Amino acid sequence: MHGNKRLYYLDWLRVFAFGLLFLFHSWRPFDHFPWHIKNEEQIAFFDTLTMFTHGWRMFLIFLVSGAGTWLAMRSRKGEFIADRLKRLIVPFIFGILIIIPPQRFYEWIMFRDFQGAYFDFLLLYPAQQLGDNMGASVLLWFGHLGTHLWYLPFLFVMTLISLPIFKKIQKGQVNFTPLKKIMSTNFGVFVLVLPMIICRLILKPVFQEYTDWADFFVYIWPFIYGFIFMADKEFLDIIKGKMVLFLNVGILSSALFIYLGSSDDQFVQSYLHPEYSWLHVTTSLNAMIIAISWILFFLALFARKMNFNHSVLIPANISILPIYILHQTLIIVFGYYIVGLDLSPYSKFLIIAFTAIPVSIILYKLIQTNNLTRFLFGLKPKAKEKKQRVSVLLEPAMVQNHKKRIK
């Protein structure tokens, strides 16, 4: 919120970003890329969806997370770090212990021909996980132990690293006037992509694995941008004015990426496991332009069209974290049995999505009933959430009248 005004479009954008993640994981059994479970038949259509959305989906989540960090720092102040620990690290540790093992169990059955029961698996699983060699990178351990939950410790580490500059921005000690002047020119807004390109060019050939340091320092930039855009409203005005530009560049760059990714194995190899070469330069340029174009397009679109409240918005926004924690495990557990059905891949995808989604919601309803499960899934205590709901439902202009009626 700027001043006392809540920015509803940020809530909608957050719901959209994490909702897309749910669908993304629901179709992953049906593309040709490695994943935890796979259908016997894979479909090129899902390859296209994966290549298109993977280019910007996590960038969008980190952009929204940066904006959310700005809001959290304003509201929590001295309690900010403790709040981040409770909201991010507690669910991550709980997820490693309870939520993730079922994923690995079905993965072992499908790809390791494991024959034992779940209890037999649990006796072997800890030693196997801790015995794997992730090298010196602590970041790879986040993904190895937490699978999809790697985002939570990533966000926590990003927050700690960025905190000194964020505090300076909060105090108005950073002059953004030159940056805004550059961004106001025709294509000047793409200056934002330069740090992302540089980080990928330098780091990706050294840290090739997904969610290693190369990805960390690429993802940190949209996270920082999300914070900056909330701190200075003029940035958002510039971005909203260039929405069509972002859409056009996003379509062209994504079309090029999908075409080359579908027809040139060398291009795919250079994207996933690059060496220092001119091909690495071109793939990195293409990939980072895709990322910045689409996240700024969606930010502009939602800021222009979705800045309104709705009865589903508040509960949907509050439920995102626990549903995010649960969703991939449910998709894998249900999906393991669903991919064995004698149906088309499209039908199986729909069954997985529309089975896992309602079950996630039902489990969230159970989680929110007591403060212990709320704590483990990163939710506020019930009393604080109720207070938050009241403050959101009341428009700023109505607050004083509401207080008078209470008196």
What pLDDT does 62 receive?
98
pLDDT at residue 4 tops 80: no
For 190-195, what is the mean pLDDT?
Answer: 98
Alpha helices, DSSP H only, in 175-212?
A: 177-184, 194-203
Structural domains counted in the chain = 1
Name the nearest CA neighbour of 388 among 404, 361, 372, 368. 368
pLDDT band at 405, cuts 50/70/90? very low
Query: Token digits for 264?
Result: 């040139």
Question: Does 215 reside within a domain?
Answer: yes
pLDDT at residue 108 tops 50: yes
What pLDDT does 65 receive?
97
Question: Does 2 reside within a domain?
Answer: no
pLDDT band at 159, cuts 50/70/90? very high
What pLDDT does 136 receive?
75
Compute the 3-state secondary structure of the chain and give helix, strand, coil in percent, each to the nearest 5: 80, 0, 20
Average pLDDT taken over every residue of the chain: 92
Question: Does 366 reside within a domain?
Answer: yes
Phi first, then psi: give them for residue 15, nearest 5 degrees: -60, -45
- Under DSSP, the state recorded for 5 is B
Question: Does 322 reside within a domain?
Answer: yes
Question: Does 100 reside within a domain?
Answer: yes
Name the nearest CA neighbour of 364 among 58, 64, 91, 79. 91
For 120-129, what is the mean pLDDT?
Answer: 95
**CA-CA distance, 88 to 77, in Å (whole number)?**
17
Give the tens place of pLDDT for each residue, 81-99: 999 999 999 999 999 999 9
Which of these ranges, 31-40, 129-138, 287-296, 347-356, has the smallest mean pLDDT? 129-138
Q: Helices 345-367 and 313-338: crossing angle, nearest 10°?
A: 130
pLDDT band at 384, cuts 50/70/90? low
Give me the domain span that covers residue 191. 8-406
Question: Does 3 reside within a domain?
Answer: no
**More confident of the two residues 389 and 198:** 198
Name the nearest CA neighbour of 224 among 84, 59, 15. 59
**CA-CA distance, 372 to 258, in Å (whole number)?**
45
What pLDDT does 74 receive?
86
For 301-312, what is the mean pLDDT?
Answer: 96
pLDDT at residue 388 tops 70: no
pLDDT band at 56, cuts 50/70/90? very high
Percent of the chain residues topping a pLDDT of 70: 93
For 248-254, what is the mean pLDDT?
Answer: 98
pLDDT at residue 325 tops 60: yes
Percent of the chain residues topping a pLDDT of 90: 87
Half-sphere exposure of 378 (CA within 13 A, CB side): 24
For 173-181, what is the mean pLDDT?
Answer: 96
What pLDDT does 266 receive?
92
DSSP character string of 34-82? --SS--SS--HHHHHHHHHHHTTHHHHHHHHHHHHHHHHHHHHGGGHHH
What pLDDT does 403 receive?
40
For 21-40, what is the mean pLDDT?
Answer: 97
Question: Does 70 reside within a domain?
Answer: yes
Question: Does 45 reside within a domain?
Answer: yes
